[in-house]
Structure formats: structure tokens, C-alpha cells
Amino acid sequence: MSPDDRLLSLRFSGYSNLTTFHIDGPEIRVAKDPACPDVEGDGTFRGLCGDVSSGPSDNWVSPDGAYLYQIYGNASKLVGYATNPAGSLEEVTSVAIPYNSRQGLAGF
């Protein structure tokens, strides 16, 4: 969730990307789907829908809302995205993590 509570980024375990939503009071609408390119895993993880996935498991938004970080356990990657108010995410960094690392993210 962005700091102004107007943009929500969600990951779905069955897919290898994120979707963003605009929130305007009680109205929620898709901002960008997908909001970023797929992150490829090794082909062994399948989401509940049966689709091969990179196993996205947790994300964290920086306090200023400028960056979103996402763990992709089956791809052995932590990816950092720059956020766009329109809802798209641009990859700005990527770091190798242990295979299937799903411990979660915490930030400050």
C-alpha cells in the first residue's frame, strides 16, 4: 500500500508478477495488470491455479512509496522496483537470494 493509501500492489502466488490497483474511497480498480514483467523461476513451482511461477512470496514498500521490493523464491531473486503513480513498476535492482527463500521482508 502506498503511503497515501491510493495505490495497492498485490502479488498472486500463481503468477510471476505483480498487479496494482487504484483506490478512490470505496472504489477499487485495476491500475496495471501486470504492473511489471514476469520473473522467471526454474519451472518447478506451481501456484494454486497450476501455472508455473517464480513463487513470489512477499513485498515491502519504502516509507516514501517510491520503491517496492519483491521476493521471488523460485527465481532466487529479490527485485527492487521504482513505483509509478499510474501503477507501473520499473525494475531498478535485483539481488540473488537463497533458492526458495521465503522468510519475508522487513524494512525501515
Asked if residue 104 is part of any domain, the answer here is no
- Please state, for a pLDDT cut of 90, what percent of the chain lies above it: 33
Compute the distance between CA of residue 96 and CA of residue 101 in angstroms, rounded to an integer: 10
Asked if residue 1 is part of any domain, the answer here is no
Asked if residue 92 is part of any domain, the answer here is yes
What residues make up the domain containing 47? Answer: 7-96
Asked if residue 75 is part of any domain, the answer here is yes
Asked if residue 89 is part of any domain, the answer here is yes
Asked if residue 108 is part of any domain, the answer here is no
pLDDT < 70 stretches in the chain: 12-14, 48, 102-104, 106-108
Asked if residue 70 is part of any domain, the answer here is yes
Question: Coil, strand, or helix at residue 93?
Answer: strand
Compute the distance between CA of residue 13 and CA of residue 16 in angstroms, rounded to an integer: 7
Compute the distance between CA of residue 37 and CA of residue 15 in angstroms, rounded to an integer: 11
The DSSP line for 23-70 is: EETTEEEEEESSSS------S-EE-TTS-EE--EEEEEE-TTSSEEEE
Asked if residue 77 is part of any domain, the answer here is yes
Q: What confidence score (pLDDT) does residue 66 get?
A: 94
Q: Amino acid letter at 24? A: D
- The number of domains in the chain is 1
Q: What confidence score (pLDDT) does residue 31 get?
A: 92
